Structure 1
Amino acid sequence: MSASHSRERFYWTGALFSFAAVGGLAMQVRGALFVSFQETFGVSESLLGLVTPVGTVGFVLVVVTFGLLAGRIDVRRWLLVGVVGSVIGFLFIGAAPSFVVLLAMVFARSASTGVFRALDRPLLSHLYPDTRGRIFNLQTMAWAVGATIGPLVVTLALYLGEWRLTYAVLALVLLPILVVLWRLESPSLMENEVSFRRADVPELLARRELLVMGCALVLTGGIESVFFTWLPYYSAQFFTPGVANSVLSVYLVAYIPGRLVFSRLAGRARYLTIVLATAALTLVALGITFWFAGGDRMLLGVFAVGFLVSGLFPTLLAWGIDTVPQFTGPINAIALTSAQIGFFVFPATVGVLADVYSIERAMTLQLALVAVLLCIVVVGRRYA
């Protein structure tokens, strides 16, 4: 590898990892601010449950479009558009005068982020063609670092007396990434990405691996999004509000060592074997967490679940891309869309169940999701 190629790869990797970290931060302030949204706008739990699905719709529409176009567009230009749009979106969310406006701005910001996320993993896939499993886990570890900080940023903003400051911080931390991308030249490493055509659709749809990956990621997205969205609210049944937000940080901080471990495992074992063992252990950890909820035991259980769940998405994505590496953009779009279907359906489902029954009973939906995931991976490992 030439020195210029190495330098180009270093800066692109740094920019992509940094945006992932900000994306994690942005996602995790959302759940931590639910109580503040409720107090500011006077909405019910069911309406709060719409925040994540609305963001999901904006994200998915853009991810699908740009994922399919990854082989024929100027990647650098559209990454810049994604960053600029995200900065503007954060500022408008923080200034929202009503819950309806807040939902509209969440939609717009998520769409801007979707432009970036549709293109970052295809670019990483071509930057690191021989170590996709490792680099995807490391990128999502960067996401986890930002996600872990998210609830703490909210706690600081609330201490200062204004939750809206959270979104000003998010806009501010994107500016260095914007500067780096502005100074970089368009990457020369996307030339191996085949321009996706309508005639290629049957080839992808005929692959059992992608069907298994998609179904598994719907459930994985559901498992993660329910915790991201509702864990602070659920934890408030057992702890003070300040401590409840910190419980989400306990869950998220487990993603950091978890994804580091999975980045090592991805190079030493078959991807589906890793996912199968992880899903089985997650089911056990969830059962213990919910049956013995409260106090230190709950915190330990939440950490264990976060550690295990952290490796599911990147490992499944790497497995899917390895099946058709020339179509990383479309496969990344399929993966993100599948996960976002889980984000769309299951947090809202928990909100409705919490209204009808209780948040404690609603959260046990997680056990069912992991059990179904386990079954899908068993079938996929045998027939895909």
Structure 2
Amino acid sequence: MKGLLVHWALACVQSVAVAQVVAVTPVSGVSAADSSDAVKAYLADARRVVDTAARAGAAWTGPRSGPRAQPGKRIALVNEDLRNGGILAVDEGVLEAAKVIGWSVKVFDSGGTLEGRKKMLADALASRPDGLIIFGGDAHALAPWLKPFADGGIPIVGWHVTAQAGPVPGTPVAMNVSTDPLEVARVTALAAIVQSGGHAGVVVFTDTNYELPMAKANAMAAVVRGCTGCTLLEVRDVPISRNAELMPGTTRELLARHGKRWTHALAINDIYFDYAAPVLTQAALPSNALSMLSAGDGSESAFLRIRKGTFQTGTVAEPLNLHGWQLVDEMNRLFAGEHVTGTVFPVHLVTAENIDADGGDRLVYDPANGYRDIYRRIWQRP
């Protein structure tokens, strides 16, 4: 990112710790010729970042050693909302890995509500698990309901439960498995800027109920604001749990308000586009009139839209099944009395050009890096 900031005609400062967007100040004393050269240099650097993220066949960067399988464990798996395709895909990865390592898993669905979270965590505790895995939600907000698990010596790991990957200070969550959300956001926004040649008109969709979506939205907004020829039209709050209800009307409203100025939609999750794309089709917009890019997950429907060229042009897909295996490995290390690995896998941008690689032919991002065999060897399982 350093090269981008050096060459760009505006300065965009972002605090990585909290993803806080701050003011952007124009650089004074820059001639028109110098400004044009700076823009060209910025776009070239941006393209390099995007092209790197879009490379297929990334090598394994995770652990190669660790404790053997701690068999016979009972795991409670508490999901924020199983209507979310990303959560469902990680669930499947956990179930696949648990079968290999020799664990039983009981699945709970909170349905995207506070009362649901409280009840499912209480039900999970009552099931007397050896370990708890939580998907989605906010680890800090859930801390009071996680405390009984910690008090009972039950280890906890999570997926997408805070704005940063790794251990979650101030909570009982030993490891938040995720790609780097700020890098995900940066690549998503830069892809829109590269596509537009530095003239994107952007609406960002987020969910202000959670720390992670807000961190990603703020990071995307910061990158767009740092582009002198781009326009951040607005950041729109649409709760993920109410997408089906709200996105069709929201999309129609934004089309009426912004018209042709709206060239790119950025969202913190592919699910927003599940309900926006039909509205765009009904409005008889050509498929290249609006480009949609998602900073997260890489759902089956997103792959289909990208493959067919139906408005969505990119998703920064996470290795969801791999993340399921990683969650099991991190939990196994805790059972064995060892530390978590803290592994964060590289960001990957799926586009029409690379969609057939790394599982794309099956409508998923499943890195061809041999992770299943590597974890089997670590656990000493056939």
- Common fold by TM > 0.5: no
Q: Which has the higher strand share?
A: 2
Q: Which has the higher helix share?
A: 1
TM-score w.r.t. the length of structure 1 is 0.28
TM-score w.r.t. the length of structure 2 is 0.28
